Amino acid sequence: MLGERNLGQSLLGQIGNKKLGIGTIDGSGAARWNRRTGQEALTGTYGCLGFDLLTFRDRLMFFRGEKLMSRRSSRPSLILPLLLTLFYSLFAAAQAKPVDAEGHQWWQHAVFYEIYPRSFADSNNDGVGDLNGISSKMSYLHELGVDAIWITPCYPSPQVDFGYDVADYRNIDPMYGNLTDFDHMVAEGRKNHVRIILDFVPNHTSDQHPWFQDSKSSRTAPHRDWYIWRDGKAPGQPPNNWISIFGGSAWTLDPTTKQFYYHFFYAQQPDLNWRNPAVEEVMLDTTRWWYKRGVSGFRLDAVDTLFEDPALHDNPVLPGTNKQGDPNMENKNNTNFSEVHEELQKLRKVADESEAVLIGETWTSNVAELDRYYGQGGNELQMPMDFMFTTVDKLSPPEFRRQIAAVDGAHGWPVFVIGNHDIVRSYNRYGDGKNNDAIARLMGAFYLTLRGTPIMYYGEEIGMENNDPTRKEDVKDPIGRTGWPEEKGRDGERTPMQWDIAPNAGFSKKDPWLSVPPSYRTHNVATESKDPNSVLNLYKKVLALRHTNEALLEGSYTALNEDDPNVMSYLRSYKGKAVLVALNMSATAQKAIFNLSRQGFDQTTLKTLIASPEASATGNEVTLEPFGLLIADVN
Ligand SMILES: [Ca+2]
Ligand SMILES: [Ca+2]
């Protein structure tokens, strides 16, 4: 899916795809590319613009779409792209170490688990979670069936946006520990076969970062151009109409130098200027620094906001206002620039040096958009998250089938999530208020058996629920404070992990930064460990199965009984072996009959592997209680 892009980006895409292409350039300087169905090559003809790719720097400028109109020559030189193609393909081949006969990489067999470090485990009882707390829970994570943990930002930070305002990219906030604690956590992880994934926040720093402190000190400071500074339209008027997603103008006037700086998020989170090569270089090198320290990858924060229109055109205003009371607008001129993909390719090259994985916070509205994040020939993110799955907010087999089929047909490996630190917990979103535990087990049996890599959210495995603040003065999340009461913020899904029945759910001896919901008395690790039918034990069983069963690890996905409005069922098959998953998404008992002759199983006999208490399989027939589930071997 190429669509309309600027010339530079399409070129880089071609190199990544190991193909050469020719396109046409329209009057606006954009290139329109076509891909012939059934052929990987791009076709078309150049207009008056050509290029001679002589130096790396020139190439960079070209890829960035800069100076596009100033570089003219009679015809394109294709030799350098060819050589680069060869180089990149050899490089990629040298880096990829498959873990199976299918050529899968480690992250394709792994189960990921997101940890909000403030809320996971508090080793020193100050009410806030920390790295030593995480280290102490590595054996829990391993026994659960987790292979990698993604820790949301734990760098030094004034915590205006709970760590997403980074003041030093190469250190640990004292609240969470220090670099020695970090190294200890990596070592404990290795002992327990749990890899560490950190959060990388490339779009902006904290306003307390030394780069910004220097940048704002004078118009000629060395770091001035590391951020985006502009004069106002008129005295006291910001440079344009862009809005911060945390409310108000995206521009703040600095009284010392009398210019405005740009911030897509909070005013304390100034955007870095990614058009400055020095910024790019130091950020790429920061990822390398962490890989050398034992990190196995990064989750990239808000990548779609990396670039802005250098001419700062106003965004189109839409009718109405948002939850912050600002006019609705289309963020056309400050998000989703094609240059984002070029940076992802560069980050990926550094990641490949260490067999690391890049996970994307990729909010997309369709699979074509998601597909672009994998890159041409898979040269960008290995794991862009499919958040469209989380938009199916009701237990609807037809909607889930549509969504899974679309993602299964994308050009990369699917990544499934049902919750994270920005979304109301899945327990509440899918729960009906009466059968929430059964539904939590159903959802676990569902997304953990799909073809792709799941990213769990801490506490999901014990059926943790949202605990939203009821008074404005209790709200910690900035968007909850500015948007109250309509927007209560994200505190509710970030409460402390529930370990046992001790006060504060055993998270801390001191009252924690956010309180646990009363349901911690029944929904905690210690209590659920003893109950064979708990949400926790269902998760453990499913995770154990998906680590050992070849059909679940390697198999294709085929939707079954696609007209059934109540039972979601599918087959995962690999080399003549198959696992069938049947999930009753309704509040009434259901029967499902499976004819798998088209899938190569003439006499279907289902052998139950995992089932809810009242579910059973006889021959090719499955009986399920309300919200019941059954996972079976097909013979
Ligand atoms: Ca602590
Ligand atoms: Ca930006």
Ordered DSSP codes for 468-484: --SSGGG--SHHHHHHT
Residue 528 annotated among the catalytic residues of the structure? no
Q: What's the per-residue H, E or C state across 43-63?
A: ECCCCCCCCCCCCHHHHHHHH
DSSP 401-458: HHHHHHHHTSSS--EE-S--TTS--HHHHH--SSSHHHHHHHHHHHHTTSSSEEEEET
Q: Is 22 in contact with 44 (CB distance < 8 Å)?
A: yes
Which residue spans of the chain are classified as CATH 3.90.400.10?
210-262
Q: Confirm if 165 and 156 have CB atoms less than 8 A apart.
A: no
Instruction: Specify the DSSP element, H or E, that contains 568.
Output: strand 567-574
pLDDT at 353: 97
- Label residue 100 left, alpha or beta by phi (over 0 means left) and psi (-120 to 50 means alpha): beta
Give the phi and the psi of residue 463 in degrees, each rounded to 5: 70, 45
From 301, 342, 493, 528, active-site residue? 301
- The ligand that comes nearest to the alpha carbon of residue 271 is 2
Structural contact between residues 359 and 300, judged by C-beta atoms closer than 8 angstroms: yes
Q: Are 616 and 628 in contact (CB under 8 A)?
A: no
Preceding amide of 319 cis, omega within 30: no
Q: For residue 425, what are the contacts with CB-CB under 8 A and spacing of at least 6?
A: 419, 457, 459, 460, 464, 465, 466, 492, 493
Please check the confidence at residue 78 and state whether its pLDDT lies above 70: no
What's residue 246's pLDDT? 85
Name the CATH superfamily housing domain 106-202+277-539.
Glycosidases (3.20.20.80)
How sure is the predictor about 79, in pLDDT bands with cuts at 50, 70 and 90? low
CA atoms lying within 13 Å on the CB side of residue 515: 10
Ligand 1 centroid, distance to 611 Cα (angstroms): 39
Task: Tell me the C-alpha distance between 249 and 255, whole Å.
Answer: 16
Tokens of 227: 């951020």
Among 353, 474, 562, 614, the active-site one is: 353
pLDDT of residue 113: 98
Q: What are phi and psi of 13, to 5 degrees?
A: -55, -40
Instruction: Calculate how far, in angstroms, residue 203's C-alpha sits from the geometric centre of ligand 2.
Output: 5
Are the C-beta atoms of residues 212 and 227 closer than 8 Å to each other? yes
Ligand 2 centre distance from Cα of residue 600 (Å): 52
pTM, two decimals, is 0.84
**Is 26 annotated in the active site?**
no
Q: Which residues make up the CATH 2.60.40.1180 domain(s) of the chain?
A: 555-634
Q: What pLDDT, in 10s, does the model give residues 487-533?
A: 899 999 999 999 999 999 999 999 999 999 999 999 999 999 999 99
Q: Characterise 312 by phi-psi region: left (phi > 0), alpha (psi -120 to 50), beta (else).
A: left
- Are 188 and 135 contacting, i.e. CB atoms less than 8 angstroms apart? yes
Most confident of 24-33, 187-196, 241-250: 187-196
Helices (H), 245-303: 277-292
Handedness of CA 469, 470, 476, 480 (dihedral sign): positive
Sheet strands (E) in 452-521? 453-457
Q: Poorest-confidence range of 55-59, 79-83, 268-272, 609-613?
A: 55-59
Q: How far apart are CA 175 and CA 122, in angstroms?
A: 10
Ligand sitting nearest the alpha carbon of 496: 1
Average pLDDT over residues 529-548: 98
C-alpha 209 to ligand 2 mean position (Å): 16
With 0-12 / 13-18 / 19 or more C-beta atoms within 10 angstroms meaning exposed / middle / buried, residue 95 is middle
**Residue 58 reports pLDDT greater than 80:** no
Cα 273 to ligand 2 centre (Å): 7
pLDDT at 96 (0 to 100)? 67
Ligand nearest to the CA of 136: 1
At residue 606, the 3 state secondary structure works out as strand
Backbone angles phi, psi at 231, to 5 degrees: -75, 155
352 CA to middle of ligand 2, Å?
A: 25
Report the chain's mean pLDDT, rounded to a whole number.
86
Is the domain spanning 555-634 CATH 2.60.40.1180? The answer is yes
Which two structure tokens, joined as six digits, stand for 305?
């906001």
The protein residues having their C-beta less than 5 angstroms from ligand 2 (an ion) are 203, 271, 305
Q: CA torsion 343→347→349→352, rounded to 10°?
A: -150
Q: Which stretch of DSSP H or E encloses residue 259?
A: strand 259-262
Note the Cα 291 to chain centre separation in Å. Answer: 19
Give 103-155 pLDDT, tens digit per residue. Answer: 999 999 999 999 999 999 999 999 999 999 999 999 999 999 999 999 999 99
Residue-wise pLDDT tens digits, 327-384: 999 999 999 999 999 999 999 999 999 999 999 988 888 899 899 999 999 999 999 9
Task: For residue 129, give the ligand nearest its CA.
Answer: 1
Q: In which residue ranges of the chain is CATH 3.20.20.80 found?
A: 106-202+277-539
Residue 27 confidence (pLDDT): 25
Ligand 1 midpoint to CA 164 (Å): 19
**May I ask the CATH class of domain 210-262?**
alpha beta
- Write down the pLDDT at residue 28: 26
